[in-house]
Amino acid sequence: MIKLENNWRQKSLESLEYLAGQFSGGYSGQFLSAEEFHLALVDSITKLKNGDNSQLDNLNIWFLPTACWDDFVGSDGQDLANEISDLLIKMTNDKTRK
């Protein structure tokens, strides 16, 4: 079961990277463009995959309703954002229990 969950996490994170890379321009808080957000997202996901759980803080903020993800991706990524938000909550809860 844990292995399946890890595969699900991996695929969800890869989907985020891909979808975020499909947008350009715009502005959202700390990011001046979708391209800048995409670079930060890829960097944060890479660090998370390598065990840097502090990245959960950034990711949780970026996926809040009306935050960076919504600003750049909008309704095209709403279902994925909901899935990721649930995943991030679970990962954050797991981190806090340790």
pLDDT (0 to 100) of residue 13: 79
Domain residue spans of the chain: 12-97
pLDDT (0 to 100) of residue 98: 59
CA-nearest of 94, 95, 70 to 82 is: 70
> Is the predicted pLDDT of residue 64 greater than 50, yes or no?
yes
> Is the predicted pLDDT of residue 1 greater than 50, yes or no?
no
pLDDT (0 to 100) of residue 48: 87
> Is the predicted pLDDT of residue 5 greater than 60, yes or no?
no
